Amino acid sequence: MTTVLPKYVAVIGAGAAGLVAAHELRREGHEVVVFERGNKVGGTWVYNPTTESDPLGIDPARTVVHSSLYASLRTNLPREAMGFREYPFVAKNGAHRDPRRFPGHGEVLEYLNDYTTEFGLGELVRFGAEVRRVGLEGGKWKVRSTACGEPLDEVYDAVVVCNGHHTEPRIAEIPGNILIYALRHGQDFKSTATITVFLSHFEIKDIAGVAKEVHIASRSVTDGTMGKLPGHDNMWLHSMIESAHGDGTVVFRDGSAICADVILHCTGYKYHFAFLDVNDSVTVDDNRVGPLYKQVFPPLLAPLLSFVGLPWKVVPFPLCELQSKWIAGVLSGRVSLPSSDEMMADVEAFYRTLDASGIPKHYTHNIGDSQFEYNDWLATECGCPPSEEWRKQMYSETSKNRKVRPETYRDEWDDELLVAQAHEDFANCSSEGNGNLSQ
């Protein structure tokens, strides 16, 4: 094998993906700079209690606030399955710690802070540094960032994009006037408000507890499920919205109508890479980022440009960990990639499989059903063990429990045996020197 020199790598974002990418890259011998436009590590898990003064987002003078979290948010995955493979998310004692199996968002941020401290990642992060442009010049990446309004141009060998995909809202296109509301507390809604929610959401009950009426319009509502939601006095399911009007009238496709004070879009987010200047080597088309070999490398720019954390409906932390190991190994020459043509052929074959199964383009990165197969493929490439059996089973048991006990799955479960197996595994991990378990 030819020796490849360590690379000078720019990582964009210091959320879970950027942190694990930085750790794995440095571990492999690369020199790393992490650009983070915020002033903390943790990305999504950095909670901001404020909302914009203008919920319609029209006033150009408004202070823009972004946070995808709301106050009462708890994880939807159990901590054992959710954590990084090499740094288990175990409960810790301490004034600000939340030992629950499905902890509140603050505990996830604490965990990511612990991870940062444990591996000394803070020294790699440049806070307040927003990447504005990434372009290829003479075989090297020119990265333009701004800090305190001052532009800075630097040259890197490789760029790893970890900018997350829960920032750019995907707004449902409804003819008529649209109201958008950012939610932090259910109590943000007055008890008189009638709310139309564009898509069902697990935590809608927070709002239903204080709003007068909640009307849920969703693609998945069928004739058989329309009407009042069983067990709730003030929640109704509707077909999709046909139009919305300035006086608050919302007309559904079945012809029924209500009058709403607020329309809340629970329609998710879009992939967005405003800083990427790579002609058409990577594009976003109907929320498909591509072409990407195995969700990570654009064949024409591999291995010097890569993406971590694009897949959704997955357990993100361990998946990002494996993607990062793969990227780090490929950049150092320890792991090889197929040729560009072979990678492109693989991507095209993947798209044909999606087409043949009737899976729309915007589901390209929904790899939920095959996530563990995907993780195991990455693990084999990197020469590390496949996903733990308990983790796979725990994921599937949690999904089942969420369906059976939608209101209480975070506090009642039947997979204690898997929890015990996880902890047995963590103890082995600890004997191999994992500082997270020695406290």
Ligand X SMILES: Cc1cc2nc3c(=O)[nH]c(=O)nc-3n(C[C@H](O)[C@H](O)[C@H](O)COP(=O)(O)OP(=O)(O)OC[C@H]3O[C@@H](n4cnc5c(N)ncnc54)[C@H](O)[C@@H]3O)c2cc1C
Provide the binding-site residues for ligand X, judged by CB under 6 A: 12-18, 35-38, 43-45, 68-69, 73, 75-77, 82, 130-131, 162-164, 166, 275, 309, 315-317
**Do 295 and 165 contact (CB within 8 A), yes or no?**
no
Minimal distance, residue 26 CB to ligand X, in Å: 17
Minimal distance, residue 74 CB to ligand X, in Å: 7
Minimal distance, residue 82 CB to ligand X, in Å: 5
User: Which CB, 17 or 217, lies closer to ligand X?
Assistant: 17
Residues 6+ apart with CB under 8 A from 330: 297, 302, 303, 336, 337
Minimal distance, residue 66 CB to ligand X, in Å: 9
Please give the C-alpha separations between residue 367 and each of 139, 250, 316, 357, in angstroms, as whole numbers: 33, 34, 11, 14
User: Which CB, 355 or 412, lies closer to ligand X?
Assistant: 412
User: Which CB, 14 or 244, lies closer to ligand X?
Assistant: 14
User: Which CB, 194 or 375, lies closer to ligand X?
Assistant: 375
User: Which CB, 201 or 334, lies closer to ligand X?
Assistant: 201
Minimal distance, residue 138 CB to ligand X, in Å: 23
Please give the C-alpha separations between residue 185 and each of 6, 51, 96, 127, 197, in angstroms, as whole numbers: 47, 10, 20, 29, 15
User: Which CB, 398 or 421, lies closer to ligand X?
Assistant: 398
User: Which CB, 165 or 238, lies closer to ligand X?
Assistant: 165
Query: Taking CA 195 as the corner, what is the angle to CA 53 and CA 164, rounded to the nearest 5 degrees?
Result: 60
Q: Which residue has the tokens 């969703």?
A: 218
Minimal distance, residue 275 CB to ligand X, in Å: 5
**Do 4 and 337 contact (CB within 8 A), yes or no?**
no
Minimal distance, residue 102 CB to ligand X, in Å: 8
